[in-house]
């Protein structure tokens, strides 16, 4: 991975505020090289504050789409499109041209089996990194090479933040091919039924995180850290709610991106 000197200027995180149709069209038919889509939630905002490599990855993203209905309901107030990755991915895959090549980075055997059944017209390939792969330079280079050998139209990176975004940015730098790279978290686990989603009512209340907190023990530490970050940066979040833009010190969050 190439590391550049970090600029003194805070990273500008501009949330997409176009329509879902516009987002899907741009993502399905990228022009001028690879397109990188990332889907921030509160955890990402915390990681952006503490992780320089994560900020560099976000700086290379072409589309930044709010993944959090909690942020949408309580802080964004409709100033940016709210489209969780678990909603984007099935719609996106369903509209792809037959025989489109899709490479999945990070998967379980259940995901591999069920996703190929759900979208039989698509040509899937699968790449499995090792645990903590983002810290191993040679493995990352090998993974980039393997992904590009499949000549994919779409790459779904499902190895969790900040690994997914850092790897996706590295992959984008390594090619000039017109392809879309999506960091989609647990979207395939929800799509294939490996993980259960909360009710639509909880989602509309911005409380899906509470459902996951009680049903997925491994998420609890993350949500506790996220809550602490929200509390310590509350003034920035309030400014963001009032103005649609706020500084978080090491980055600036803007919900008024023109498209």
Strand 11-14 versus strand 63-64 pairing type: unpaired
> Over 50: is that where the pLDDT of 257 sits?
no
For position 9, what pLDDT does the model report?
Answer: 76
Share of residues in the chain with pLDDT > 90 (%): 73
Name 84's Cβ contacts closer than 8 Å, sequence gap at least 6: 39, 67, 68, 69, 187
pLDDT in tens, 134-163: 999 999 999 999 999 999 999 999 999 999
Q: What is the pLDDT of residues 19-52, one digit of tens each?
A: 999 999 999 888 889 999 999 999 999 999 999 9
- pLDDT of res. 10: 85
What is the percent of the chain with per-residue pLDDT over 70, rounded to a whole number?
95
How far is 225 from 217, CA to CA, in rounded Å?
Answer: 14
Query: Measured between alpha carbons, how far is 2 from 69 in angstroms, rounded to an integer?
Result: 34
For residue 15, how many other CB atoms are within 10 A of its CB? 23
Distance between CA atoms of residues 44 and 226, nearest Å: 9
Q: What is the pLDDT of residue 8?
A: 55
Kind and range of the H or E run holding 33: none
Dist. CA 221–CA 209, nearest whole Å = 12
- Model confidence at 98: pLDDT above 70: yes
Report the relative pairing of strands 180-183 and 154-157 from DSSP bridges. parallel
pLDDT band of 74, cuts 50, 70, 90? very high
Stronger pLDDT, 4 or 133, i.e. the higher one: 133
Q: Is residue 259 predicted with pLDDT exceeding 60? A: no
pLDDT in tens, 198-247: 888 888 888 888 888 888 888 899 999 999 999 999 999 999 999 999 99
pLDDT at 258: 46
Residue 83: the pLDDT is 92
Please report which confidence band the pLDDT of residue 256 belongs to, taking 50, 70 and 90 as the band edges: low
How much is the mean pLDDT over the chain?
91
126: pLDDT strictly greater than 60: yes
Residues 14, 240 contacting (CB under 8 angstroms): no
Say if residues 137 and 83 touch (Cβ distance below 8 Å).
no
Statement: 11-254 belongs to CATH 3.40.50.10700: yes
Lowest mean pLDDT among 42-46, 114-118, 254-258: 254-258
Give the integer Cα–Cα distance in Å for 30 and 53. Answer: 25
Torsion sign (Cα): 207, 107, 134, 152: negative
Scan for tokens 């996706």, then name that residue.
Answer: 168
Rg (CA), the chain: 18
pLDDT of residue 4: 39
Alpha helices by DSSP H, listed for the chain, are: 20-28, 42-50, 52-59, 69-71, 85-94, 109-118, 137-149, 163-173, 187-191, 200-204, 208-215, 220-232, 234-243
């Amino acid at each position: 991975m190439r590391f550049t000197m970090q600029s003194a200027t805070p990273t500008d995180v501009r949330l997409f505020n176009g329509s879902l149709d516009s987002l899907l069209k741009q993502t399905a038919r990228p022009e001028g090289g690879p397109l990188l889509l990332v889907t921030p939630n509160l955890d990402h905002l915390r990681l952006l504050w503490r992780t320089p490599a994560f900020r560099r990855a976000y700086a290379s993203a072409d589309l930044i789409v709010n993944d959090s209905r909690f942020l949408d309901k309580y802080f964004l107030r409709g100033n940016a499109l709210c489209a969780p990755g678990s909603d984007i991915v099935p719609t996106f895959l369903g509209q792809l041209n037959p025989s489109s090549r899709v490479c999945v980075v990070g998967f379980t055997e259940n995901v591999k089996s069920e996703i190929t059944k759900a979208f039989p017209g698509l040509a899937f390939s699968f790449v499995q990194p090792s645990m903590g792969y983002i810290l191993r330079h040679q493995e990352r280079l090998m993974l980039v090479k393997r992904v590009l050998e499949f000549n994919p139209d779409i790459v779904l990176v499902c190895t969790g933040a900040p690994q997914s975004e850092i790897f996706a940015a590295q992959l984008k730098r390594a090619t000039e091919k017109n392809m879309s790279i999506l960091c989609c978290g647990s979207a395939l686990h929800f799509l294939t039924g490996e993980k259960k989603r909360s009710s639509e009512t909880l989602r509309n209340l911005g409380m899906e995180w509470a459902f996951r907190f009680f049903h997925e023990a491994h998420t609890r530490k993350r949500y506790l850290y996220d809550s602490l970050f929200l509390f310590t940066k509350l003034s920035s979040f309030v400014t963001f709610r009032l103005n649609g833009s706020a500084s978080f010190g090491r980055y600036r969050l803007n919900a008024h991106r023109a498209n």
